Amino acid sequence: MRTALSSIICAALIGSAILLVSCFPKYPADDRAQQDKRDFPLSKEERAVAREHAGYLEQMGGYDGPQTCYACHTEEYREVSRSYHAHQGRIAVDGSIAHEPEKAVDRGMFTRWYPLTQVDRSMEPENQWRLQEALRCGQCHPGGGPMKRYGLDVDCLICHQRGGYPFGQPERTAWGGRPAGDKTRVALIFEACLASQGQAGRLDLSDVAANTMQGREVVVGRPAPENCTFCHQRTGHKRGTRYGKVLGSPADVHYDLGFRCQLCHPVKDHEMGKGRILDAVGTPEQRGTMHVCFDCHGTKPHAGLHAQTLNDHMATIACETCHVTETRQAFRRVDWTPGLDLEEKLAEAKGGSGARNAGTKGPSPGAGLTDSAAGSPYLEVKKEGFTPVYAWHNPYRLSREVPQPNGRLGSQASKITPFNRVGSRFFDDGTQPRVLDDPDGPAKGRPIPLAAVARAGGAGATDTSLMEMRAWKGGRFDQALIRQPAMTFQIFHGISPASQALQCNDCHQEGGRLDFAALGYSPKRIEQLTDER
């Protein structure tokens, strides 16, 4: 049973563990490839590359973890180790990439997502940050760089195994893999990390990652969308849109046309190009390096009877406002006030042995370890088909705070842009003046670590009160308060074809999609804008 579990652990949990595997890769026969139903089959050149790698692996005795790859690809290994996929958007005090965790003043992508996890590691209880790296960050990030010290080395196959790692997604099954949902992912997380319980110095996950590719076909190739969506499907819960497929149907017209992710996100030195989205502050060196709509469609893309009017709209309206017409399930609110003690969760999974006196927080040991709202006390979701929030946004202004649109009516660079607004609720230590002035504003503040919140509640508690938080450990957080700022995530992907774009009266009527008053228009102008066309 343990071998069966460990055979699929890496992509679900770590995506980056040191793999100690001895497997003999097979390249699929041509007749099988002809039956393959993937949307991005291997080209003739890619098939040659895959055969070459398969032959090399056979000579080496099989795939034996990342060292098998970087024996030849040393420079590529260095590139990945320094990439933002490895450092997760951590930034130093001067705004540059923080390749070493101790130099980071910002926890990177989680600052723009779960505000609570941006905490300074010196505030966190012993071993929690190591568990955070393995249990949460390690579920997707390819390892290397700052993650290597936790036993999470670069695993090239997380991106270059065509057909995906042997761990399926709800909408597809990888070659030789099987579909698995969040419950399976949680079970694998526990299986992987029980061995590390109590090891404060290091999380060596190589034992549980062994045999990940045992008996699997190693098919090396450049990444296809399925490799990217393996991890990035979760960003749909922030934004409400997806690339790839949803329930077997293309979720974006560009995917339907056969566009790989790299076409818009060009790759240089293993860094994928990024746009100027609101929550991309953690990757300052990559902002604006991807292609945008105008690069392919021009600045006047509309033709036909109303072409001039539509092209004029582009001065004040982002393309996604009209061309994202269908939203998917997305997060409504994140509530971290129940707290989360990762060491305690692992002890619960072990039957309670070795547990700290922290109490049990939440309905199940797995709550909070994945990004699923199913059975979680932390997450609320909105159903697919929700209407985005539309706000003015200036993509050229860089914000380092909790994500909020930063444009305004009349600003030349600002455009009406769609967002998914997500509520949040968490404890803050209450020491920062800007937070005291506006607790629900965008200031980052000093969130209290999740483990401290969980332990302040006491044994058997299911929540932690503000009084308990202030009294914990002799008043360590005696000025604590509960903050509830909104986080606003820019909507992109999920682009509909022109024939399905919004029509004039979807916005230009009373009760239409755009709230012109919230956008700052005067009553007289609103009356003009809501005349049906």
Let me know whether 96 and 219 are in one domain: yes
Give the confidence band of 348 by pLDDT, cuts at 50, 70, 90.
low
- Mean per-residue pLDDT, 260-274: 93
The rounded distance, in Å, linking the Cα atoms of 467 and 481 is 10
**pLDDT exceeds cutoff 60 at 4:** no
Give the confidence band of 423 by pLDDT, cuts at 50, 70, 90.
very high
Radius of gyration from C-alpha coordinates of the chain: 24
Question: Which DSSP string corresponds to 241-301?
Answer: --SSEETTEESSHHHHTT--HHHHS-EETTEE-----TT-TT-TTTTT-S--HHHHH-S--
Summary mean pLDDT of the chain: 75
Lowest-pLDDT choice from 87-91, 140-144, 207-211, 385-389: 207-211
- Residue 240 is predicted with a pLDDT of 92
Let me know whether 135 and 261 are in one domain: no
Let me know whether 276 and 423 are in one domain: yes
Within-domain flag for 332? yes
Let me know whether 293 and 339 are in one domain: yes
**pLDDT exceeds cutoff 90 at 493:** yes
Task: Single out the residue in 182, 208, 232 at which a domain terminates.
Answer: 232
Would you say the pTM of this structure is higher than 0.85? no
Let me know whether 65 and 21 are in one domain: yes
> Is the model more confident about 277 or about 493?
493
> Is the model more confident about 513 or about 144?
513
The rounded distance, in Å, linking the Cα atoms of 424 and 334 is 5
Task: Single out the residue in 198, 232, 266 at which a domain terminates.
Answer: 232
- Residue 125 is predicted with a pLDDT of 67
- Residue 115 is predicted with a pLDDT of 53
- Residue 289 is predicted with a pLDDT of 93
Give the confidence band of 505 by pLDDT, cuts at 50, 70, 90.
very high
The rounded distance, in Å, linking the Cα atoms of 160 and 472 is 48
Task: Single out the residue in 232, 259, 274 at which a domain terminates.
Answer: 232
Let me know whether 332 and 228 are in one domain: no
- Residue 318 is predicted with a pLDDT of 96
Let me know whether 150 and 282 are in one domain: no
How much of the chain exceeds pLDDT 70, in percent? 67
Q: Could you say which DSSP state residue 7 is in?
A: T
- Residue 340 is predicted with a pLDDT of 82
Which pLDDT tens digit goes with each residue over 233-261?
767 788 999 998 888 788 999 998 989 99
Within-domain flag for 508? no
Question: Which DSSP string corresponds to 467-502?
Answer: HHHHHHHHHTTTT-EEE--EEEEE--S-PPPGGGSP
- Residue 106 is predicted with a pLDDT of 62
Let me know whether 238 and 212 are in one domain: no
Tokens of 176: 């030789």
Let me know whether 57 and 118 are in one domain: yes
Total structural domains in the chain? 2
Let me know whether 168 and 250 are in one domain: no
Which pLDDT tens digit goes with each residue over 400-411?
778 789 899 999
Residue 135 belongs to domain spanning:
2-232
Give the confidence band of 351 by pLDDT, cuts at 50, 70, 90.
low
Cα torsion angle, 159, 163, 165, 171, sign: positive
- Mean per-residue pLDDT, 274-294: 83
- Residue 13 is predicted with a pLDDT of 32
Let me know whether 89 and 127 are in one domain: yes
- Residue 165 is predicted with a pLDDT of 58
Whole-number Cα distances in Å, 28 to 33, 34, 160, 175, 176: 7, 10, 16, 10, 11
